[in-house]
Chains A and B, each alone.
Chain A
Amino acid sequence: MRRKFSLRLLAATALTFTSVGAYAADDVKVGLMLPYSGTFAELGQNITNGFKLAIDQKGGKIAGRTIEYVELDDESAPAKANENANKLIRRDNVDVLVGTVHSGVALTMARVAKNTGALMIIPNAGANELTGALCSPNIFRASFSNWQAGYAVGALMAQKHKTAVSLAWNYAAGDEQTAGFKEAFEAGGGKVLKHLSLPFPNTEFQPLLTEIATLQPDAVYAFVAGAAQVKLTKDYEASGLKDKIPLYGAFLTEGTLEAQGSSAQGMLTALHYADGLDNPKNQAFIEAYKKAHGETPDVFAVQGYDSAQLFIAGLEAVNGDTSKKEDMIRAMENAKLDSPRGPLSFSKSHNPVMNMYIREARGDQNVMVGIAVEALADPSPDCKR
């Protein structure tokens, strides 16, 4: 009895290994290294949903090859990024590394990708460096660069105002977005009177608001994220500044409109996507996403979707033969994607070239009211290759 059992076990084990072996040869492996726990868990999930939606719309197969996913929670922990990225590339042999939200983690991933030559698609992280100093033929970004986000707001504000004060967290993303803002605002004839900064992730804005009231600029540019967005717009309204000195930002009303309540209503922001953007691709995308997940997609879902679209473009160009990496990369470089955010192509540094929309916060939506900059490309001056 015992002997029979062990034989069966042995046979089963053998079979398992054969089937695993067979899969490895036939499937294309996508390594999703994203935050599935912690503060960014929701973003990671929405990116994953968007990515899988694009693959599912192709029947789960690209150029005849089934897509298999290896999902890994990066915990937004830069200290674990090196090991995690290496695990996916060397142990799981993924054909593409997709990640992540946190810039610190993404920078480490990009270094690993650069060293190993593994194909990498960044579905969110905005650090300029990713397509700047770290740029590499095998690294693509399907989201945005911090410079782009700030630049678009600067261009928007220059259309309406002469002087401004900027306010941002004193860390990489804050510095990069503020630099983009300043460049566009001053190129458009505006003048930045003062830059106010506070340590990340402090949310004690009251002193800075008092300073804004003292300086009396025509408008204010702000970059903070998450809970701080809510606190800033609420404090801004409570200080009586909202109706006197308009407040602008890129992500300032993104994903937090409900919590912001009246304090964000009517606020203008500039970003590469707007809720319910009126183009056929987006309408179809929203409908499909709602059907699959029961909720309206956000900008992160769009970025996940486009990451998959970019990969599909490469895979189809080589007819599913992932060994032809150079041809894949060339096809991805030249891809003209029909994105829910509008036409999407890629710059020499593999950063998105896209329209930056002016959005107005109405109810729980960031509604498109115009275009801040058409087909904005990050010049990526640090990308030398």
Chain B
Amino acid sequence: MDILLGSLLIQALNAIQYGLLLFLIASGLTLIFGVMGVINIAHGSFYMMGAYFAFTITGLTGNFFVAVLLGAILSVIIGALLEWALFKHLYKRDHLEQVLLSYGLILIFEELRSIFVGDEVHSIDVPAWLNFSIPLGDIMSYPFYRLFMSGVCVLVAIGMYILINRTRIGSMIRAGATNSGMAEVLGVNISMVNRLVFSLGVGLAAFAGMINAPASAVAPGMGMEVLIVSFVVVVIGGIGSVWGALFAAMVIAFADTFGSVFFPSVAGMLTYIIMAMVLLWRPEGIFKR
């Protein structure tokens, strides 16, 4: 195969994989905002929490998949508890107070991580049966785990689609997102929907952290890194829109991937340039509701 064409194809694969991961993180963020109107800047901390669950539980059980399962359950429970203890008091407050509270959470999560796991950089081995590469061209091979990650992300996205569009709970979520007051009058238990959506959002972020941990490192501050770009994704996609999140995540991932190769000097700004242009064109995001 022509080496340039081959590398473009692999780059596209890289971008799709990165985009899917971004989508998982951003969809939780956008759901929470869309349904509850809460700006939660601690979302990156949930991502970090997932990675640390995966690291700790894999260390204890020796099995990454047990860790992902247990970690997901734990994260959803923690999400529900946080909603009950903190976030439900914020729905009627203004965004500044929401930002303040969730910023406090970031600090608390970092400190808890420091106390329980420490400040070192860790990593998780890719499960043995997934740990191989597919040769592509003469020199490059593509790590199979990345394809696996993409596959899992697609499955989760399909699951979310079914949950939101084809189930009773989903119709309540959609009703809550469109007009929570009206939905409540019609007999939807909004506080239950809120708790569910919040837990789901936390679970999605944590799941992304867990599934990405073997391909990445488990380290202090890792939440901040994804937080900023997932906010950009939400802003571009349109707040509250899951499809917008998917579309924007792919735009950002392709821009980032090809930008860092073809325009390395502006790659860092490219994401923000796109965001600025989208905001000029459609101030409420591409998929505004």
Task: Mark A residues whose CB is within 8 Å of B.
Answer: 37-39, 41-42, 170, 195-204, 206-211, 213-214, 216, 226-231, 234-235, 238-241, 244-245, 255-256, 259-261
Q: CA–CA, A210 to B141, complex, Å?
A: 9
Q: Is the CB of B11 within 8 A of A231?
A: no
Q: Is the CB of A210 within 8 A of B14?
A: yes
Q: CA–CA, A231 to B124, complex, Å?
A: 11
Q: Is the CB of A226 within 8 A of B261?
A: no
Q: Which of B17, B145, B146, B225 contacts A203 (CB 8 A)?
A: B225
Q: Is the CB of A241 within 8 A of B139?
A: yes
Q: Is the CB of B121 within 8 A of A256?
A: yes
- Within residues 140 to 156 of chain B, which ones have a CB less than 8 A from any CB in chain A? 140-143, 145-146
Interfacial chain A residues near B181, Cβ < 8 Å? none
Q: CA–CA, A210 to B18, complex, Å?
A: 14
Interface size range on B against A: 35 or more
Most chain A CB inside 10 Å of its own CB: which residue of B4, B125, B133, B143? B143
- Within residues 105 to 160 of chain B, which ones have a CB less than 8 A from any CB in chain A? 110, 114, 119-123, 125-126, 133, 135, 137, 139-143, 145-146
Contacts A39-B119, A39-B220 aside, 6 further interface pairs with beta carbons under 8 A come to A201-B221, A211-B7, A214-B6, A227-B217, A231-B215, A239-B141
- Within residues 198 to 246 of chain B, which ones have a CB less than 8 A from any CB in chain A? 215-222, 225
Closest chain B CB from A311 CB (angstroms)? 28
Task: Assess A204 versus B140: contact at CB under 8 Å? Given A39-B221, A238-B133.
Answer: no
A-B contact pairs, 11 of them (CB 8 A): A39-B220, A200-B268, A214-B4, A216-B139, A226-B121, A227-B121, A234-B215, A234-B217, A238-B126, A255-B121, A261-B125
Instruction: Indicate with 1 or 0, residue by residue over B154-193, a CB within 8 angstroms of chain A CB atoms.
Output: 0000000000000000000000000000000000000000
Residue of B nearest to A206 (CB): B14
Interfacial chain A residues near B122, Cβ < 8 Å? 259
Q: Which of A39, A200, A208, A239 contacts B261 (CB 8 A)?
A: A208
Interfacial chain A residues near B3, Cβ < 8 Å? 214
Closest chain B CB from A197 CB (angstroms)? 5
- Within residues 1 to 47 of chain B, which ones have a CB less than 8 A from any CB in chain A? 3-4, 6-7, 10-11, 14-15, 17-18
Q: CA–CA, A206 to B136, complex, Å?
A: 14
Residue of A nearest to B270 (CB): A199
Residue of B nearest to A216 (CB): B139
Q: CA–CA, A37 to B110, complex, Å?
A: 11
Instruction: Indicate with 1 or 0, residue by residue over B253-289, a CB within 8 angstroms of chain A CB atoms.
Output: 0001110110011011000000000000000000000
Q: Which of A238, A244, A259 contacts B145 (CB 8 A)?
A: A238
Q: CA–CA, A198 to B133, complex, Å?
A: 24
Interfacial chain A residues near B120, Cβ < 8 Å? 42, 259
Residue of B nearest to A200 (CB): B268
Most chain B CB inside 10 Å of its own CB: which residue of A42, A199, A241, A245? A199
